[in-house]
Structure 1
Amino acid sequence: MRPWPEAPGVLRTIARGRPIGVVTNCSTTLGEQAAALVPVDFATIATAERAGAYKPGPAPYRLALRELGLPADRVLFVAGSPFDLPGAAAVGMDVWWHDRAGMRAPEGAPEPVGRAGSLDPLLDVPGLRVP
């Protein structure tokens, strides 16, 4: 496992001004191992194992929101999978899609607020970059 090349820098920049977390269908052990590859202090690593359910069901997303201590309307979820579009949106989060593979969204999925093949454009989202 290796993070995408731009991930450490982008996430470090965003984490300077706000808590960030991970929501994953991995086990807790694997989720923590993967998160440790990025030099960022994650406020939560919400795994399917800890939530007792898999994404795109609501439990993992809700676990992350609880642990971040934020309401859904104050969180931007960065989706790495098209199936996170309906999952994260269903609990009230805006979703920005990191569509590195050029995938097709599931039928009826809500439109993401942004979409790119790299994480770099996240730094242009108003409020995410801290000077």
Structure 2
Amino acid sequence: MPVPTAGEVLRLWFEEVWNQCDASRIEVHMAPAGIARAVDETGADAHGPAAFRAFFERFLDSFSDIRFTMHEVVEAGPLAAGRWTARLTHSGPGLGVPPTGRSLELSGMAMVRVEDGKIVEGWNEWNRMALATGLGLLVAPAR
């Protein structure tokens, strides 16, 4: 079986890990020493699959109906970048916030560096302000 390209790994990551909510796929797609930069709600890094899994499980404890849509993926050798939108419902206290039942839409971009078919480094930029205002932690200024 051929080794997947960086773009294929990025798409598989969002489909299998996030859309299928399958934590077992984290180790399949992330190298043992892989780093996910600025991944969580605070902008902290996750070093290795176990650290990413801890964030992932907290996220799943907070949100249901998670659905990521990958809009575009651009590849250049071992690098791939993609723009995404996520729709989810705040249904649990996993992030330390009582569930609101609110539906949220978040947008962001991810870039990965892949070696031997696994993510060795990933960079994440997503709209944390939309998360905070959607959970009622911040009030959006009047327009």
TM-score, normalised via structure 2 length: 0.23
TM-score, normalised via structure 1 length: 0.25
Structure ID, larger Rg: 2
| More relative contact order, 1 or 2 (CA 8 Å, 6+ apart) | 2
Write 1 or 2 for the structure with the bigger share of helix: 1
